[in-house]
Structure 1
Amino acid sequence: MRSAREEYERRLKAYTRLLGKQTKRVNTTSILRLAVFVIGIAITGILIYLKYPYLSISSLLVTMIVFTLLVVQHRKFKDNKKYTETLIKINETSIKRTEGQWKEFKDSGEEFQDEEHNFSGDLDIFGRGSLFQWINSAVTHLGRISLKDRLTVFNDSIEEKYKIQEAVKELGSTLGFRQKYMAEALMNKDNMNNPEVLFKWAGEKHERYKKTWLSIATKIMPLLPIGALLALLLVPGFTYKVLLLAILINILFLFPTNVERQNVLSEVAEYKKSLESYYKMVRLIENKNFKSEYLNELKKKLTDSNGVKASKQLEELQEIISLISDRSNMFYIIINIIFVLDYRIMIRLENWKENSGKHLETWIRTIGEFEALSSISVISYENPKWVMPEFLKDIDKISAKGMGHPLLGEKRVCNNFIMEMPAKVLLITGSNMSGKSTLLRTIGINLVLSYAGAPVCAESFKCPIMKIYTCMRVSDNLEKNISSFYAELIRIRNIVDASKSDDKIFFLLDEIFKGTNSMDRHEGARVLITQLSRAGAMGLVSTHDLELGTLENESGGRIKNYHFREYYEDDKIKFDYKLRPGVSTTRNALYLIKLAGIEVEDNKKGY
């Protein structure tokens, strides 16, 4: 079985070969189109010169028909070429991800960063070097929002989470579907803006266009100019003034609400490209047979109460929008006057909104849900050795075998980890750079993956459903005039308040109370850790304060000590990043000070 990298490379080669053929096809039809036009016009000119009127007209008609067919074919070939180029780009991007170059990807979800969120900032969920940047394959506005919610909001029950796991595994195995699905969105990427205006339009009603008399009038009004024209051609002595009068009547009929129609039709026309992609993405979902219950539940949302498929209804909307796009044609004004097309289009639009408009938001949100799940399934496909977590219902326990940080790639060092009753808090000590903070983030981000329905970076992983809170990266907020120390207090207060609720709480605290003196820091940390352990919250606390290690004996087993250590080889500091029980027994501050070029002994003499 091919690895993900090998399959991406195979597809890249296949699509590159196809692109070569398609490029030749596009160039050939382009040359042929020009040749037909030049030769056809030349022959027509010669026939006119030779005074063969019927042959010249026939030649011109044949030329225009063949030329038009070639234009349509050329456009189709160009679209196919662009689609193949998009698939090539997707596979090139996928190869970069497997090579660890994903931090170069433009979409890092930076706009989703939220300093006030319970954990996303500390666990690198968004921004440069983030989980979002690593896995995101969502292109549409709501697809990206859906992925953001999947990684930060965990309201699903355990049963739902297992369903999502099955959906993610199934999507992971359907690489062809996922790449085509993403390609359809990328074809019109620049048009995938926030569809809220479209949703608003779909819900707006213009009752005047539902009137029966107007529907009858739009059928009758074209008969006036058409009948007058036929009479002018066939009836001797029929005056052209009647034709002009008929045209004037139609113009006056079109005049009322002209500005309103212009605004409505122009607004929806802006979504032509994005609706084209939505339609094709819906078609891909509808034509795919899924096994997982969750995916089939999502798929059912792409039908209305009468069982009519969303693709059929979106196709009808596309036809209407194509008519709207024709309004920019120079001949449209003439056709509009004769056939009162503006009214006909508005009536069709209102009928469509009446029957299908209320479903549009559900369809587009469902498209986004599939994008989010496809993004998460990237983890499953590219990391087949990672495992889906097991969720514990009534047991406060986290256990993992071979757990590593998913964003560190080959640099990661894996640890076995267990946290179970009566222990509620693990106190992690160790010297600088030994791995304390990384361990906290490793556990935190793997919990995020678990709750999102993704596999985790471990050989086995079990956990209960908990609400995650962190206090790790805290900085000054000049805009709100908040110091880092006060910002840290706010975070800690939120954790304390949450621990008093009925929810299961999991917290990660990294070197708390850094902004105060050592005595207050020690006492504050001691009181906080004791209070959280008594409240029943679970969590990890990293600290340099080795004296906090005495809490293990004082807590009745609720607090356990673990540590990381360093060693020296050839007068160089080394770390194995392995978690061990007990309090740290080593220190490296003086070594690091010397590494910075500070002469420790001279400074001592100076004092």
Structure 2
Amino acid sequence: MKEPLKIYEKRKERYKRLSAKQEQTANRLSNYRLLTSLAGFTIAVFLYLKVSKTLALGMGILTLGGFLYLASRHRQVRRQLRYSEIIAKLNEKGIQRLQGNWGNFSDLGEEFEDEKHPYAHDLDLFGQGSFFQWIISAHTPLGRISLSQIFKNPPQNPDKILARQKAISELGKSIGWRQRFEAESIKASHQFQKVESFLQWAKEREEGYLKPVLKVAVIILPLLTIIMIALYFIGEAVPWYIPLLLIGVHILLLQLYKKERLIALATVYKHEASLKTYTNLLRQIEKKKFCSAELKRLQKSLRDRDGKPAYQQIAKLSKIVERISNRENAMFIFFNILFLWDYHCMIALEEWKNKSGDLLKNWLEVLGDFEELSSLANIPFENPDWAWPEISPSDASMAKGLSAQQLGHPLLTKKRVCNDFTLTKPSGIVLVTGSNMSGKSTFLRTVGTNLLLAYLGAPVCARDFRCSIFEIWTCMRVRDNLEESISSFYAEILRIKEIVAAAQKSESVFFLLDEIFKGTNSHDRHQGAIALIKQLQKEGAMGLVSTHDLELGEMEKESQGKIKNYHFREYYKNDEIYFDYKLREGISTTRNALYLIRLAGIKV
């Protein structure tokens, strides 16, 4: 951890110093701009009054030129300053992540929460204190979606996972490029719009605007009208009603399909700022030389049908959209009537869509994929001692299951306790017993989250980690649903039903069950748990079950070792309870419920 921490601190200080210098430069340029204006205006007035009007005009032009140059430099330095400030904050964010102080990061991904997903809710993928909050470096709409989707639907192919490992490892080492890439999107993060309507617009076609007769007409008509207006004002060479009639034709044309045209232009225009950012992000991807096959594949897909880079095509669209921005000018209505400007914009947009519209969705999705991989690349950079997992194919000689040394929960930076753990066939199910707060639920999440990280192609929080491909299912935080009149116990039954059905369809189910059937009496809970565990074992599923029901431990003998017992324990010192969170074989021999009840002030 010391090495990445030093790198973050060094980069943070470097960019803070740079931003301080840029701030000083920006202030000086602002002062120079003011002095240039005042001095130039004063000298110009003096020359006008005392020397020569010609010299005064020359001085005015010189002053204006100097002012515009200084204003341009000031804007440039301000942009550089903003960039440096963002880079400094990104390094500060990395420091906070390393120190376990990432709980105040603002992007929680709450809109992606889904309690019906097989494991997302129980493994804390979204929301406060989540994986998404911990690792997110994506800021474009599709980048955030890409990260959420890979969390919910990780690859199930070992070759694909290995390809992602190499890509994430390469990006992890490219901290400079990753931070420049993220900084570019942060600069416009508040301007990003939802892209669904934009992508739908790109797929639709208005073929009428591509007809040659219309293209010629919107050039000839304005030109003819301007000539007629000029002829009228120059000696009334044509009657007044001819230019007026032509202007009327223009107005009539602008009324045709006006509503549809305005909707299309508005749909594109609201992405004006985003398009500039997309251009810069895609340019950074294009200019970077990648080594891993996965990154090269993604980079290669950012081309149009002629082999031209995607960023060039997005830049063309951005320039077209800049023309639409003229609509906000107060004089635009007259300009539009005279030049039929809306038609020129629509023709340019349709020509762009005809060439690149079908590719836009893929380009933005690939951009999102780079953001997703860059987010996960934070993990190997910040945790160089974490293991790259070995994924076993379904037909591998290695026994189906998982094996880990010094396995810990990735999100528990400050209080992490690591354990060795192995679960392989024929021992497919582990019962975890222990007192309240001893670490049972956290250990189940530790196993589940590291399995997920392995499938994502990221390193896992362990010294060594090997696993098979599983479908992860959890039943840990089941809640009632008042709207559907479902109690927490019945909601748990429905969840268990889904897990059993999944196990019947596939032998690759890996389940994590926390305190099953806790909403009913002890007799029914015990009998139900036995029946469920036996059924899951029969279907070939593997997994962990945490429970306070110590009698379930007898299943190890009954199953002839196919079901294993592990436990956590507590100890007491000076009448205070302590936990070491170390996993041990066998059934728990300690209890702390009465102690905690007395601690709450209840006399027992």
Give the TM-score category using the shorter length.
over 0.9
Q: Distance in 1 between matches of 2:466 and 2:92?
A: 35
Partner amino acid, structure 1, of 2:30: S
Supply the distance in 2 between the matched residues of 1:398 and 1:444 (Cα, whole angstroms). 11
Distance in 2, matches of 1:254 and 1:522, equals 76
What do you get for the CA RMSD once the two structures are aligned? Answer: 2.3
Please name the residue that 2:344 is paired with. Answer: 344
Q: Is 1:442–2:446 an aligned residue pair?
A: yes
| Preserved contact between residue 86 and residue 183 of structure 1 (Cα < 8 Å) | yes
Report 1:45-84 matches (<5 A): 45-46=45-46, 49=49, 54-84=54-84
Aligned equivalents of 2:231, 2:59: Cα separation in 1: 31
Q: Which amino acid aligns with 1:429?
A: T
Residues 521-577 of structure 1 show CA distances to partners (whole Å, capped at 9, x for unaligned) of: 111111111111121100111111111111111113221111122223333322222
CA displacement, residues 421-480 of structure 1 (integer Å, 9 cap, x when unaligned): 211111111222222111111101111111111110000111111111111112222222
Q: In the TM superposition, what whole-angstrom CA distance separates every residue of 1:28-67 from its partner, at most 9, and x where no partner exists? A: 2323333344444445555555695544544444444433
**Per-residue deviation, 1:398:** 0.9
User: Equivalents in 2 of 1:532, 1:291: separation in Å?
Assistant: 44
Match of 1:489 among 468, 476, 493: 493
Map 1:489-508 to 2 at 5 A: 489-508=493-512
Mapping for residues 97-246 of structure 1, pairs under 5 Å: 97-228=97-228, 238=237, 241=240
3-state SS of 1:399 partner: strand
- Counterpart of 1:582 in structure 2 is 586
Q: What percentage of residue pairs aligned between the two structures are identical?
A: 48
Q: Cα offset for 1:599?
A: 2.7
Deviation, structure 1 residue 237: 6.9
How far apart in 2 are the matches of 1:301 and 1:190? 28
2:522 to 518, 521, 527: 518
* Secondary structure of the structure 2 residue equivalent to 1:568: strand
**Structure 2 letter corresponding to 1:435:** G
d(CA) in 1 for partners of 2:493, 2:523:
17
Is residue 556 from structure 1 mapped to residue 545 from structure 2 by the alignment?
Answer: no
1:252-271 to structure 2, matched below 5 A, reads 254-271=254-271
1:398-413 equivalence runs, <5 A: 398-413=402-417
Hey, what's the Cα distance between the residues in 1 that align with 2:456 and 2:252?
59
Please state whether the residue corresponding to 2:152 is helix, strand or coil: coil
Partner of 1:468: 472
The residue type equivalent to 1:167 in the other structure is: A
Supply the distance in 1 between the matched residues of 2:332 and 2:51 (Cα, whole angstroms). 34
Counterparts of 1:586 and 1:23, CA distance in 2: 63
The corresponding residue for 1:571 is 575
Structure 2 CA distance for partners of 1:243 and 1:30, relative to 1, 3 Å: farther
8 A Cα contact 1:152 1:448, kept in partner: no
Contact persistence 2:507–2:540 (CA under 8 A): no
Could you tell me whether the CA contact under 8 Å between 2:250 and 2:338 is conserved in 1? yes
For residues 344 and 53 of structure 1, do their structure 2 counterparts lie closer, same or farther at Cα, with a shift above 3 Å needed?
Answer: farther
In 2, Cα distance between equivalents of 1:248 and 1:478: 63
Between 133-142 and 342-351, report the one with greater CA deviation: 342-351
The 2-side partners of 1:247 and 1:61 are apart by: 37
Contact 2:503 2:536 in 1 (8 A): yes
User: How far off its partner does 1:82 sit?
Assistant: 1.6
What are the ranges of 5 or more consecutive residues in structure 1 without an aligned counterpart?
A: 601-607
Amino acid of the structure 2 residue aligned with 1:163: A
Distance 1:414 1:482 in 2: 38
State the partner residue of 1:90. 90
When residues 558 and 502 of structure 1 are mapped into structure 2, their CA distance, relative to the original with a 3 A threshold, is: same
Q: 1:60 to 1:240 in 2, by over 3 A?
A: farther
Distance verdict in 2 for CA 1:568–1:490, change over 3 Å = same
Determine if contact 2:431/2:547 at 8 Å carries over to the other structure.
Answer: yes
What is aligned with 1:603? none
- Aligned twin of 1:300: 300
Bigger Cα displacement from structure 2, 342-351 vs 376-385: 342-351
Is 1:315 the counterpart of 2:315? The answer is yes
Distance 1:332 1:25, change over 3 A: farther
SS at match of 1:117: coil
2:196 and 2:228 map into 1 onto residues whose CA distance is: 46
- Which SS does the other structure have where 2:103 is aligned? helix
TM-score, scaled to structure 2: 0.93
What secondary structure, in the 3-state scheme, does the structure 1 residue paired with 2:465 have? strand
Letter in 2 for 1:82: R
CA deviation string 1:249-297 (max 9, x = no partner):
6555545444443332232111011111111110111011111111111
1:340 maps to a residue whose letter is L
Size of the aligned set, in residue pairs, is: 599
How far did residue 491 of structure 1 move? 1.0
Q: Give the 3-state SS of the residue equivalent to 1:221 in structure 2.
A: helix
Residues 530, 555 of structure 1: 8 Å contact kept: no
Give the distance between the partners of 2:2 and 2:587, measured in 1 at CA: 45
- Out of 470, 475, 478, which is 2:482 matched to? 478
Aligned residues of 1:467 and 1:503 also touching (Cα < 8 A): no
- Report the more deviating stretch, 215-224 or 553-562: 215-224
> 1:496, 1:130 → 2: CA distance?
27
After the TM superposition, which of the residue ranges 163-172 and 389-398 deviates more from structure 2? 389-398
**Letter of the structure 1 residue corresponding to residue 347 of structure 2:** I
TM-score (norm 1): 0.93
Task: State the AA in 2 paired with 1:137.
Answer: S
Match of 2:329 in 1: 329
Q: 1:256 to 1:370 in 2, by over 3 A?
A: same
Q: Is the 8 A contact 2:515 2:547 kept in 1?
A: yes
Deviates more, 1:154-163 or 1:587-596: 587-596
Give 1:419 shift: 0.9
Whole-Å Cα distance in 1 between the matches of residues 68 and 239 of structure 2? 34
Give the counterpart letter for 1:592 in structure 2: L
Task: Please tell me whether the aligned partners of residues 99 and 414 of structure 2 are also in contact (alpha carbons under 8 angstroms).
Answer: no
Corresponding residue for residue 459 of structure 1 = 463
Q: Please say if residues 567 and 586 of structure 2, whose CA atoms lie closer than 8 Å, have aligned partners that are also in contact.
A: yes
**Using a 3 Å threshold, how does the CA distance of structure 1 residues 402 and 52 change in structure 2: closer, same or farther?**
same
- Comparing 257-266 with 90-99, greater Cα deviation is found at 257-266
What is the CA-CA distance between 1:19 and the residue it aligns to? 1.1
- Name whichever of 142-151 and 388-397 sits farther off: 388-397
Structure 2: gaps of 5 or more residues: none
In the superposition, relative to structure 1, how do residues 227 and 71 fare at CA in structure 2: closer, same or farther (>3 Å)?
farther
Give the letter aligned to residue 68 of structure 1. Answer: L
Cα distance in 1 for partners of 2:134, 2:8 equals 16
Measured at CA, do residues 236 and 472 of structure 1 come closer, stay the same or move farther in structure 2, by a change above 3 Å? Answer: closer
Q: Equivalent residue of 1:209, what SS?
A: helix
- Provide closer, same or farther for how the CA distance between residues 202 and 245 of structure 1 changes in structure 2, counting only shifts above 3 A: same
Separation (CA, whole Å) in 1 of partners of 2:319 and 2:475: 54
Note the 1:369-408 alignment, pairs <5 A. Answer: 369-393=369-393, 394=395, 395-408=399-412
How do residues 351-362 of structure 1 correspond to structure 2 at under 5 angstroms? Answer: 351-362=351-362
1:605 is matched with none
- Tell me how far apart the structure 1 counterparts of residues 569 and 294 of structure 2 sit (CA, whole Å): 45
The CA deviation at 1:370 is 0.8
Q: Distance in 1 between matches of 2:490 and 2:118?
A: 16
What is the CA–CA distance in structure 2 between the aligned matches of 1:140 and 1:571, rounded to whole Å?
54
Q: Secondary structure at the match of 1:506?
A: strand
